[in-house]
Copies of this chain bind each other. A is one copy, B any other.
Amino acid sequence: MSAATQQSSYREAVRAGLHEALQKDSRVFLMGEDVGAYGGCFACSKGLLEEFGPARVRDTPLSESTFTGMGIGAALGGMRPIVEIMTVNFSLLALDQIVNNAATYLHMSGGLFNVPLVIRMATGGGKQLAAQHSHSLEGWYAHIPGLKVLAPATLEDARGMLLTALEDPDPVLIFEAAVLYPMEGELSPVITPVSIDRANIVRTGRDLTILSYGASLYKGLDAAEQLSAGGIDAEVIDLRSLRPLDDAAIIGSVEKTRRAIIVDEGWRSGSLAAEISARIMEQAFYELDAPVERICSVEVPMPYAAHLEQAALPQVRSIVEAARRMVVGNG
């Protein structure tokens, strides 16, 4: 990364990625609800309509299933569409197109037709938007063969993963954590794709591994800080890619620390955290000094009231307590 980095927000980083993509490849276009005149419901595409025009920044009607399916068709037709589904909550309406078409075309056709489609959506709770607007279902998408699923937690990834996804011949879903849009940080002036092959060890540690992604990553980091004060040295890993998962990084770290906690905003049962726990069971069972723990959302439709919502979401305190149990508790 170059020395002269610039100040930016996660939101601006996403916008910079979109801008770069539209500028460097005429096959790229952005399509979704309110991406144009409104500037994007999270202001991620502000100004792009004015700069690139209505043919390449396309406001759609409220028709999630069809404009997503049209993204598939346009990708098959030689374009590089970026479909924005405002939030994962509305992607349920487009799920048939994503699961039954985008993910299957290549295989059903015996390799004849690949679908170079990028779908972006915001995910997660924490903004008091209640039960229908607070889902964190990226783990669901990570279940589907044929899809790749990315979860940028940093500014560099928010900008770079979009460019990486656009170079991919197959459908890539990018989940942007809604609560991270205002996050400020440094961004390299060099706009390039980022490798998505490896998870990222954000903090190295000896005593246990905290695995997370997206907005929850920062809860893991806060917990690690608090733990270090108490003399517990936690390693924190940003998974970055949810499908495929970087088993080497996960297992490598757990073999070193012999303990793992997965922090995942999805509901506990059937969460991505469950998959990671199962993989550690399968690949590092004999290395473990304590059972892997999961810190997930409480299994309740998200309540509106702040105190209830916060109680439902993964809490730094719960991570810290679990870590203490594991390290002090045994081994």
Contact = CB atoms under 8 A, between A and B. Distances in A.
Contact of A281 (B89, B95, B245, B277): B277
A144 B267 contact: yes
Copies of this protein in the complex:
2
Interface in A43-74: 65
A301 B146 contact: yes
A117 to B, nearest CB: 16
Given A277-B281, A292-B281, A143 B104 contact: no
A131 interface: yes
A77 interface: no
Interface residues of A, number: 52
A122 to B, nearest CB: 16
A193 interface: no
B270 A103 contact: no
A65 to B, nearest CB: 8
A96 B92 contact: yes
Contacts of A139: 143, 270
A185 interface: no
Nearest to A300: B145
Interface in A93-149: 93, 95-96, 99-100, 103-104, 107-108, 130-132, 135, 139-140, 142-146
A133 to B, nearest CB: 9
A282 B293 contact: yes
Nearest to A298: B145
A303 B303 CA distance: 42
Contacts of A266: 143
A199 interface: no
A100 B131 CA distance: 7
Nearest to A65: B93
A271 interface: yes
Contact of A291 (B144, B281, B303): B281
Interface string A242-275: 0101000000000000000000001101111111
A294 interface: yes
Contact of A143 (B89, B132, B267): B267
A212 to B, nearest CB: 16
B275 A270 contact: yes
A239 to B, nearest CB: 13
A270 B266 CA distance: 12
A103 B278 contact: no
B269 A243 contact: yes
26 contacts: A92-B95, A92-B100, A93-B95, A93-B96, A99-B135, A103-B301, A104-B132, A107-B300, A107-B301, A108-B131, A108-B132, A139-B143, A142-B270, A143-B266, A245-B269, A270-B270, A270-B272, A270-B274, A271-B275, A277-B281, A277-B282, A278-B292, A278-B294, A281-B281, A282-B294, A285-B291
